[in-house]
Structure 1
Amino acid sequence: MENLTVLVTSIDTPTAHGVLKGLKEIKNIKIIGVNPQTLTAGNIFCDRVYRVPRFTENKDNYFEQLKEIIDKEHVQAVFPCHPHEIDVYEDYKQHLTIPFALPESSHFDRLTDKDTTYHWLDEHGFSEYIPTYYTFKSHDELARLIHNEFKDEDELIVKNTSGYVPSDFTLLTHHDKFIKAIETQQSHVFAFEDYLETDNTDHRMVMRKLDQSEFSVDLYIHDSKTVVSVPRQRIGVSDGLVLDGTLIEHTVLIAISIKIAEALIEEGFINLQFMKEDGDFKLTDVNPRFCESQVMSLGAGVNFPELFLTYRLTDERPVPRPNWNTRMVRYRESVFYHNYNADDEPAVWTAPGE
């Protein structure tokens, strides 16, 4: 690939930073970033950054400005990096004529809701990988479920069925454990009785707290066949951000993830997350997008952003071989902007020397 120009959205997010790190390893590439603010930590990876409105505030204006930037910079591919951009998948298809890094699926709308995804998988022979769960909207329903289905459980997990981020969950427990959680500054913990008093009618799901170990699998699919499957064990996580983890050649997880991913999408990157229930792997999340922790695969020699560009823009069909047992430990770096004026932030930022 020569003289390639790509655009990355929401460059202030951890997801974008992982994608940008992969893109920076490609030779002869120009990276355009877009964001509501033009001075972010993501700028260090970009050649130019444009201010655009939040797509959640004005979707039409967002795509109009995105298209103007794409035309002006001769962009050849787009990486949507905000978790909620999967909600505007159809808008991307409508407005863009170039590849964008959300997976192609004949039933993408099902992938944005856990309950709908589980039902579809159950109907297509994947019931053994679905955890035991129940859905509810009212807290009267939840109280009945706790009493009838989970009466012997000390801890339960509640999640929105349409949640997009790992930290979008609540742990319910007894009052004494709730007090201990407060004392140790744990977040997302509620006492059963307190949670039942909250005002919430979202469509949610409740399940047992599964085994502690969490596993995540990054996959690239081409023409409904897996190019590579990279499992990793999450060791340290803070508010949904993976700080420590190791890539492992787990043949069982590789086989399970390949079966599920090839059933869900036809082309592109997808991330699947697993935990164990009674000793068996269960699918706990489906992320039909680049996720923030895929950067772990980059450190093991699998550059998923480059793989997407290669498969979508060229006739080359590489099959990367992961460097197994690679461990990632994350740290935070600082970016400095001198002579900064909050009232005069530029609409367009250009890297020095450009």
Structure 2
Amino acid sequence: MLNEFNLETPCFVVDTEDFKNNIRRFSSALSSFFPSNIISYSVKTNSLPFLINVANTVNCYSEVVSYDEYNLVKKLGVETNHIIYNGPLKDKATFVEAISNGAYVNIETKREINWLIENKDLINGHIGIRLNIDLGIISPEDSKIGEETSRFGFSYESGEFQDALNKLHDNNIKIDGLHVHRTSATRSLNVYSQICKYVSDIVNKLNLCISYLDIGGGYFGNYLGKPDYIDYVKEIYNSLNINDSIQLIVEPGNALVASSIKFYSKIIDKKLTNNTTLLTVDGSRIDIDPFFHKKNYSYNVFIKSHSSSKQIQKVVGCTCLENDVLMELTDEKKLEIGDVIEFTNVGAYTMTLTPNFIRLQPTVYAYSNCEYKVVRNKFSVDQWINNSVMHIENKPAILFSNAGRRGTLIKNFKKTLGNQVKLIATDNWCVAPALFMADEYYVTPKIKEKTYIQELLNICKKENVKAITTCIDPEIELLSKNRDLFIENGILPLCPDEKTAALCFDKYEMFKYLTKCNINTVLTYDTLDHFNEGYKNKEIDFPVFIKPRCGSGSVGIAKVNSYDELVERLGEGKFNYIIQEFMDCEDFDADVYIDTISNKAVSAFSKKKIETRIGGASKTISFKDEKLFTFIKEIVKHFNFNGPVDMDFFYKDGKYYLSEVNPRFGGAYLHAYGAGVDFPKLIFNNINGIENECEIGNYNSDVLMMMYDEVVITTKDKLKGDYND
């Protein structure tokens, strides 16, 4: 199975249908005795988001015991009125939200009573209170040694339960139900019988009028020879002496999920010591028994050999703990390196308690309809680092000047570089969205101000900036003119030299230079007289394309269909236009990285435009063509680029033609990054004096990008300036 479906060990596998069937069978058992009932999945047992989603699809509520679990299930789309909120780790915000929007909220602490009184006018849910259950008194044979008394709920024997009810009553708050969950050593039918009798006695003594009883969890699941769901429900029904219309709530965890999950681990080493064969697996006892308290495990083996082992075979985990021993096999076939062991019934209190100890948390797959799909990726080193806060003195920084709307670009840098660098953003407007994605931001003057470069340099010195890149075209020439100044201060400007920058922003000079270098480009004229000469010589015909000679962002571009229209448009005097051959063919983009040490193109990502909006492509699909990659390498030889470059091409009659070069991150570089072309990594290498190896074309074809809108929400007090400026 593992080889057939390319499953990587160690891994958990969720049997989706088994999980659903367990929920349905328990729900059916409840309905047989209690017309009004709720089954609620105990999220703490296994908080895998996939399981919460599956439970939600079959009308199973979510039982949560902390504000984190509450926020988790809400984020996953569970409606508030399908949440049972228990435990002492509620916070006031989620508590108030829950009582206001139909949740079942069972009071566990005295502070919750105070919150309830403070917000009694908001109550629009079901309010219960947890009753302390002392198994040492009511069912000692079912209690765990040392855990006869419970630390949860309000005690009837001490009088705190009655005090809590009286305080609520004095504030005109009615209790709708009781919560009486109690963990036992035996999971027996008897413990539920004794709890029900105890609760019934208290309800009747205090003359309580409750509409629901939440009896909690603690049941066996699919275990042969153990009570089934229907056995528990029947015992509860026969033992209760409360009103016949009571709504019964159950909170199973183990009973639903344990049988639905298996763990697979492969043998990676084999040794012999003291007549015992030691078999090291890539999993650990921690994965299937985090508390190290089980004495045996249910398992199956998938082996190559059919011969018996003469020695005891001890299966040991991959950690450095001497007691990381899963089992000793005395009557089993001989296991070899590469054989796989399947551990069953491991869905409860395993994944949620598995630490990133020595080996990070493994992949989780879900099995359904004869297919396996990943539902939790293996935890990665990058995730671990990125989720850490490392206070590194004088940490190097990268600065994005005039960041504008390029927030996702900054997010991508964070994803790659994590806490290795600090990301700084600047803009002349305090409400530029990208500012709020950076680790620190500054509001600067406009680039035309005389003080601009000095203020930028001051920020770089203050923040230990090691590289700077701009997000707008007009600033590229300014940075290029001051390139030596930044380098003198230990800052790498990700921009071309002054000559190259000037060529990139004068389209006619670029045309002349490319023609001189024998690089295919679009036929271009700088004046109407020059065009008339070419038109007379039949070098060019209509339609033609006009654009500002030094423009950017698609401003002022137009297709012109006739000579009269051309004369009219040029006569408007809005721009200093160039006139180009209209390229009636496919156009493409390429994101190129030029190594700042070797000055060679070391990475390139090409994409076909599917949809273009003002300023650039909004939908693209990747492709690879060695002819284009060779063309890009040849182009780069004739310029002095540094860092990211966005190139536009046409493809006509079997040849590529260079249209434009923008020596900065292109707006659609996000596509390249999403396909695995990682310029932030290359920049970080160059900052550290490392020359990048060539990895041009190192991505997959037919990867699509579709841009969509995102927003930044903040408050006025967070702004570092006046948004009216």
Whether the 8 Å CA contact 1:218–1:269 is kept in 2: the answer is: yes
Aligned-partner Cα distance in 2 for 1:265–1:228: 16
Q: What amino acid maps onto 1:210 in structure 2?
A: M
Deviations 1:108-160 (A, max 9, x none): 4333322222222222332xx12222221xx566567666647852x210122
Which structure is richer in relative contact order (CA contacts within 8 A, separation 6 or more)? 1
What pairs up with 1:121-270 in 2 under 5 angstroms?
121-126=514-519, 129-136=520-527, 149=538, 152-153=541-542, 155-174=543-562, 191-192=565-566, 194-200=568-574, 202=576, 204-222=577-595, 223-265=598-640, 267-270=642-645
1:69 to 451, 459, 470: 459
Task: Say yes or no: does 1:5 pair with 2:407.
Answer: no
Task: Say yes or no: does 1:285 pair with 2:660.
Answer: yes
SS at match of 2:673: helix
CA displacement at 1:252 relative to structure 2: 1.5
1:99 to 492, 507, 516: 492
Aligned-partner Cα distance in 2 for 1:7–1:306: 15
CA displacement at 1:237 relative to structure 2: 0.7
Compared CA separation, residues 159 and 149, structure 1 to 2 (3 A): farther
- Provide structure 1 residue ranges, at least 5 long, that are not aligned to the other structure: 176-189, 349-354
Compared CA separation, residues 147 and 36, structure 1 to 2 (3 A): same
Aligned-partner Cα distance in 2 for 1:257–1:105: 21
CA displacement at 1:66 relative to structure 2: 1.1
Aligned to 2:412: 22
What pairs up with 1:23-62 in 2 under 5 angstroms?
23-25=413-415, 26-28=417-419, 29-56=421-448, 58=449, 60-62=450-452
- The farther-off stretch of 73-82 and 165-174 is 165-174
Aligned-partner Cα distance in 1 for 2:591–2:556: 20
CA displacement at 1:226 relative to structure 2: 2.4
- Alignment size in residue pairs: 322
CA displacement at 1:330 relative to structure 2: 0.4
Identical counterparts, % of pairs: 20
Aligned-partner Cα distance in 2 for 1:332–1:262: 38
Q: Which has the larger radius of gyration?
A: 2
Compared CA separation, residues 117 and 193, structure 1 to 2 (3 A): closer
Aligned-partner Cα distance in 1 for 2:467–2:548: 32
- Root-mean-square deviation (CA), in Å? 3.0
Whether the 8 Å CA contact 2:511–2:524 is kept in 1: the answer is: no
- The farther-off stretch of 298-307 and 87-96 is 87-96
2:701 to 311, 324, 331: 324
Q: What amino acid maps onto 2:647 in structure 1?
A: L
Aligned-partner Cα distance in 2 for 1:152–1:314: 51
Aligned-partner Cα distance in 1 for 2:701–2:540: 42
Aligned to 1:311: 686
Aligned-partner Cα distance in 1 for 2:664–2:678: 15
Whether the 8 Å CA contact 1:102–1:290 is kept in 2: the answer is: no
Aligned-partner Cα distance in 1 for 2:640–2:484: 19
Q: What amino acid maps onto 2:522 in structure 1?
A: P
Compared CA separation, residues 70 and 248, structure 1 to 2 (3 A): same
Aligned to 1:183: none
Compared CA separation, residues 330 and 273, structure 1 to 2 (3 A): same
TM-score (norm 1): 0.80
CA displacement at 1:266 relative to structure 2: 5.5
SS at match of 2:452: helix
Structure 1 stretches of at least 4 aligned residues deviating more than 6 Å after TM superposition: none
Deviations 1:70-103 (A, max 9, x none): 1222222112111111221344314322102113
TM-score (norm 2): 0.41
Compared CA separation, residues 92 and 322, structure 1 to 2 (3 A): farther
Whether the 8 Å CA contact 2:407–2:435 is kept in 1: the answer is: no
Compared CA separation, residues 118 and 241, structure 1 to 2 (3 A): closer
Aligned to 2:714: 337
Whether the 8 Å CA contact 2:591–2:644 is kept in 1: the answer is: yes
Q: What amino acid maps onto 1:323 in structure 2?
A: N
Aligned-partner Cα distance in 1 for 2:524–2:584: 15
SS at match of 1:292: coil
- Provide structure 2 residue ranges, at least 5 long, that are not aligned to the other structure: 1-384, 386-391
Aligned-partner Cα distance in 1 for 2:540–2:606: 34
CA displacement at 1:282 relative to structure 2: 1.1
CA displacement at 1:345 relative to structure 2: 4.4
Compared CA separation, residues 5 and 11, structure 1 to 2 (3 A): same
Whether the 8 Å CA contact 2:589–2:609 is kept in 1: the answer is: yes
Compared CA separation, residues 152 and 75, structure 1 to 2 (3 A): closer
Compared CA separation, residues 257 and 51, structure 1 to 2 (3 A): same
Aligned-partner Cα distance in 2 for 1:197–1:119: 24
Aligned to 2:308: none
Compared CA separation, residues 122 and 144, structure 1 to 2 (3 A): closer
